[in-house]
Every structure is written in structure tokens, then in C-alpha cells.
Amino acid sequence: MTVQTLRVPLPEPVYQYLKQIAIATRRPVEQVAQESIVGNLPPSVATMPVEMQDELLEFQNMPLHELQPIAASQMSPAQQARHQQLLEENAAGLLTPAERDELAALRTLADRLMLRKAYAWAVLRWRGQAVPALDELPLE
């Protein structure tokens, strides 16, 4: 892996905090800074579905008031109920071919919604917004 050097001016309190962590963990301050950067960046979209990559990258430029509803979005109650019904009928082996297609479409919709939500939360966290704990998120 090629290593690049980046000179970044830091406010003294930030540098001192990095140094304090480095001393406490017996690691170089550069390693602590690098891990802090890597650990706080939103995930790379390179491993995400190609058809969603541009949309997810746009999240990084969105204002907070547009990102927050994406992070809180959910399938409609009707879609949730239909998805659950189809899952139960599928487990019982009762789906028609058309219903199997509908279940696959709803599964794809749910998967993409979860990916959009997760990426929106990652960008919000990156921008310093509080991310709720799992038990604070709505169940529906």
C-alpha cells in the first residue's frame, strides 16, 4: 500500500488530546490521528451497489435537514405488512410466482432503504451529529 503524507494544522487542544491518547495507549500520535480519521469517515461507497453509489455520495453534500429524514425513513406500514405477509406465506410454501417476484422486490426495497439509512447516519455522525443508540431508534 502506498502511503501519502498530509500536513494538517490542528488546534493545540486537538493535538494535545491526540498526544494524550497516544501516551495512554503507547502508540505514536500519527497512528492515533490516522485511526481517528479512518474511524470517523463514512464508509466507502465502492463496495456498495453500483446503482446506488452516486446517490450515497450525494449524501456527503446534503444539508443536515435533508439527511435527517433519510436516516429516519421507513417503509410504509402497508409495505411492511405486505412484506411480513409474503414472508409468512413463503415460509409455508404458499407463494405464487408473482408473489415470489413481489417478495423479491420488497426485499430489495427494504435492503436499499436500510443501506440509505445507514449511510445517512454515518454521514450525520461524521458531521458531528449524535447518533441514537439502537434502543432509541423507532421499531417500525
* Residue ranges in the chain modelled with pLDDT below 50: none
Distances, alpha carbon 129 to alpha carbons 21, 64, 76, 77, 91, in Å:
23, 9, 26, 28, 40
Return the pLDDT at 79.
96
Return the pLDDT at 132.
85
Return the pLDDT at 139.
63
pTM, two decimal places: 0.81
Return the pLDDT at 15.
96
CA separation for the pair 130, 88 (Å, rounded): 36
CA separation for the pair 53, 43 (Å, rounded): 11
Q: Which residues of 64-93 are buried (b: 16+ CB within 10 A; e: fewer)?
A: eeebeebbeeebeeeeeebbeebeeeeeee
Return the pLDDT at 23.
97
